[in-house]
Amino acid sequence: MEISFLIPAFLQGVGVVALVSISYDVLLHHRSAGWLRSVLVALIFTLAVLGTMANPVAFGDGVFFDLRHVLLVLAAPFGGLPAALVTGVAACVYRLWIGGAGAAAGVAGILISVSLGALTLTYLRLQRPSFKRSILVGLMPSVSLLSLGLLPFEMIGGVLKAVAAPMVIGNFIGAIVVLTLLERRKSQAERETELQVFAHSDKLTGLPNRLKFETAASLLIGNALAQERQVALLVMDIDHFKQVNDTFGHAAGDVILADVARVLKREMRDGDLVARYGGEEFVALIPVDSEAEAHVAAERICKSVSRSRHEVRGVKLTVTISIGVQLIDGTEFSLHELMEFADGALYSAKAHGRNRVELAVAA
């Protein structure tokens, strides 16, 4: 059979691949739960494989050519083992339903491709794009030709002569096209996610930054007030931080900031919010039921930081923080005004000896 007979199947496969690429891109940008994303990826690959199998090029009784093996090989690297398993099972069931003399060989070929994708899952995910990797992926779908050994003996020679070269070429080109499209979509989505993370988090400490804090504050406060609770606004500042920078250098100061951030994060409960507000200043929002609870929480954080030890250039250091607390029990003040009240309490804590908690005077 001339290779021109395979062109319609190949072009149809390219169309399916384009739809897979677009669907995969939409899915990557959708903020869905992990399990839901796995289900949707499995659905995308399953429908794509069945789509390519629906209109194949026939070589005889139950012997077909399509680009199913390209998608079967890549289902695991891009969708995970669950997606590969679901896609493989669906393809096997459909192939058995079609029937014909090549049914057993078809199922075997599907299992070979799915297994290859699963076995090379870690390699394909960890390896950076390269010529060697592309060649490997291009050749993998054609390993399914081994399944032709299950055809009736009188058919094997004719089928191999007709399909071997065109199938290897078609699968090779198809695999590289699919790999390139999916990786491009995935890389773009990862870059966009990374940019969003950087836009809302502090690179040094990993905590939310001022922008993220101010964006999330209104929702947290609103939810707490709706539940008839109060919110403790804590403004925290590392004591004598300038001396650390002047004595040990700014790199040492960065170590202290990162260490203190880890302590603060550890002290937060589910539903609390802590962020680096700027310089050596941190802020937190903690839903509470009383002023006493707010004071206890702030004292716990203050003591936890003072008990922590930090090593800078071989020297063990202890740092403390001062905390100003403003209790939020209504919506009459803006976040900016509330911050000013808490700042006033912070300055009072500094003036009264540092390493202490001060509650803001009722506004």
So which residues are the catalytic ones?
280
Residue 53 phi/psi, 5-degree rounding, is: -80, -15
Rg (CA), the chain: 31
Nearest by Cα to 202 from 210, 214, 191, 193: 210
Token code pair at residue 353: 């000896």
Q: Round to whole Å and give the CA distance between 106 and 64.
A: 8
- Please list, in sequence order, all residues whose beta carbon lies within 8 angstroms of the beta carbon of residue 174, skipping any fewer than 6 positions away: 10, 13, 14, 17, 67, 70, 141
Token code pair at residue 290: 């009383």
* Residues counted in the chain: 363
- Identity of the amino acid at 10: F
